[in-house]
Amino acid sequence: MSAIAEIARKVQNREISAESSVQQALDRIAATRDSNAYLSVLADFALETARNLDRRLAAGENLGPLAGVPIAVKDNIVVAAGKTTCASHILENFESPYNATVIERLLAAGAVPVGKTNLDEFAMGSTSETSAFGAPVNPVHPDRIPGGSSGGSAVAVANGTVAVSLGSDTGGSIRQPATCCDIVGMKPTYGRVSRYGLVAYASSLDQIGPFATTVADAALLLNTIAGYDPRDNTSSNRPAEDFTARLEGGLKGKTIGIPREAFGEGLDAGVEASVRAALAACEREGAKIVEISLPTLKHAVAAYYAIATAEASANLSRYDGVRYTTRSKEAKTLYEVYAQSRSQGFGAEVKKRILLGTYVLSSGFYDAYYMQAQKVRRVITEDFEKAFAQCDVVATPTMPTVPPKIGDVFKDPMAIYLQDIYTVAVNLAGLPALSLPASTAGGLPVGLQLIGRPFGEVELFQVSAGAERVSGRGTRG
């Protein structure tokens, strides 16, 4: 049984109270506060929510499948009980008047949000070091980055404060932190989970997904948050599925495609060896390994950053110092309100991406950059369609290197973007993908990324669960 299913079972059977389950999580958060995983702790709200669950249970009511399960939430997903800062000074005092759809669904299932987690500012980064409130600390290797942008959500699970958490993934922001913190992270198909209440970075790429220590827990959490939402016009109206249905199905008869383009220049030799060893273990358990081609994979980073920054430029124009954002105290004219509030409120990485996006969308460059990137996006999607004619899932490393040391990626302006080389194509094509521990290289964690067909999460979880059982999870080399 998964960890969160066991918590819910104990609460339902009144072996433990929901309040005690939540209090234990709050105690663990307090004991690990130096990790900086949380930007805010929702203690009063969480305890009152848990007590209400206990009262309902005492009255004979059946609670949901996540009864009493504490959960951490990335601080770009709005929760009415507290602040949503996006790890930015420009939103440091913002309190949402409503809950995101995923929060509504978690509460309906009996889960209890206990805190809002740290991230790269406005989810723009691969290390969590661009947070205006300091980076979270990787509990596995404190001298290494925790990954980004959902670093706090990954750290919250890896250091044991909660069994599961929510992040968002625009170009790898769930899968990369999962790799760095040696846990499971899953990005669903675009449209599978409502974005209502997710603060937008790049609207055609963003997707909310789960972190967990096991594939089973990630699948169970996705069961709760997935589904059509009329408030999100990009939400799919496909019928709900049980993502845990085939977790025990095994690898026999499954075909895993290995793109030759993912195992070339730029890939660390130790990472490649760990990933190939994990795939060889899958093959011994009955999976068929075939070589495939994704010829446009090398263009994915360039296309991604043209599209993502363009959408960020448009989305972040609402933060102007006039409405709900922090306003410059020195500004005297309307222009100064706009210019100084944004200059003082946004960090360097966010300002850089806004400027890049504005340039991409500007007259004379729109066709050359943005429209060309959209054409590349279409071809990348077609490449994946051809690949899935030959295999059930596609496998790549999650990252081209082991987790870098803190500060290292900023020494090379391109290094931070090249960490995304294996993950951004998935977002461009709108596919589901999962990262799980593959083993290690030089004692540092290595992630195996498995990519599924559009809305192929059930099969993706099946293969991932099989790979999890045979890949040597937890070994150290």
**Structure confidence by residue, pLDDT tens digits, 357-388:** 999 999 889 999 999 999 999 999 999 999 99
Q: What pTM was computed for the model?
A: 0.96
| Amino acid occupying residue 345 | G
Distance CA 366, CA 474 (A): 47
Distance CA 39, CA 89 (A): 12
Tens-of-pLDDT digits for all 477 residues of the chain?
A: 589 999 999 999 999 999 999 999 999 999 999 999 999 999 999 999 999 999 999 999 999 999 999 999 999 999 999 999 999 999 999 999 999 999 999 999 999 999 999 999 999 999 999 999 999 999 999 999 999 999 999 999 999 999 999 999 999 999 999 999 999 999 999 999 999 999 999 999 999 999 999 999 999 999 999 999 999 999 999 988 999 999 999 999 999 999 999 998 889 999 999 999 999 999 999 999 999 999 999 999 999 999 999 999 999 999 998 888 889 999 999 989 989 999 999 999 999 999 999 999 998 899 999 999 999 999 999 999 999 999 999 999 999 999 999 988 888 767 777 889 999 999 999 999 999 999 899 999 999 999 999 999 999 999 999 999 997 553 333
Distance CA 316, CA 248 (A): 44
Distance CA 403, CA 68 (A): 34
Give the model's pLDDT for residue 474. Answer: 35
How far is the CA of 443 from the CAs of 29, 87, 180, 401, in angstroms?
A: 27, 31, 12, 13
The sign of the torsion formed by the CA atoms of 368, 346, 73, 146 equals positive
First to last CA, the chain: 29
Active site residue ranges: 74, 149, 173
Show Cβ contacts of residue 455 under 8 Å, excluding neighbours closer than 6 positions: 189, 192, 236, 238, 432
- Residue 64, SS3 per DSSP: coil
**Torsion angles phi and psi, residue 363, rounded to 5:** -60, 130
Give the model's pLDDT for residue 42. Answer: 98
Task: Dig out the tokens for 410 from the structure.
Answer: 């900023």
Show Cβ contacts of residue 260 under 8 Å, excluding neighbours closer than 6 positions: 291, 292, 293
Show Cβ contacts of residue 85 under 8 Å, excluding neighbours closer than 6 positions: 39, 40, 75, 91, 92, 94, 116, 132, 133
- Look at the domain 3-225 and name its fold: Amidase signature (AS) enzymes (3.90.1300)
Residues 209 and 190: beta-carbon distance below 8 Å: no
Give the model's pLDDT for residue 472. Answer: 56
| Amino acid occupying residue 121 | E
Give the model's pLDDT for residue 97. Answer: 96
Give the model's pLDDT for residue 5. Answer: 97
Pairing assessment for the beta strands 255-259 and 288-292 based on DSSP bridges: parallel
Give the model's pLDDT for residue 476. Answer: 34
Give the model's pLDDT for residue 48. Answer: 98
Q: What is the largest CA-CA distance in the chain?
A: 70
Distance CA 50, CA 462 (A): 33
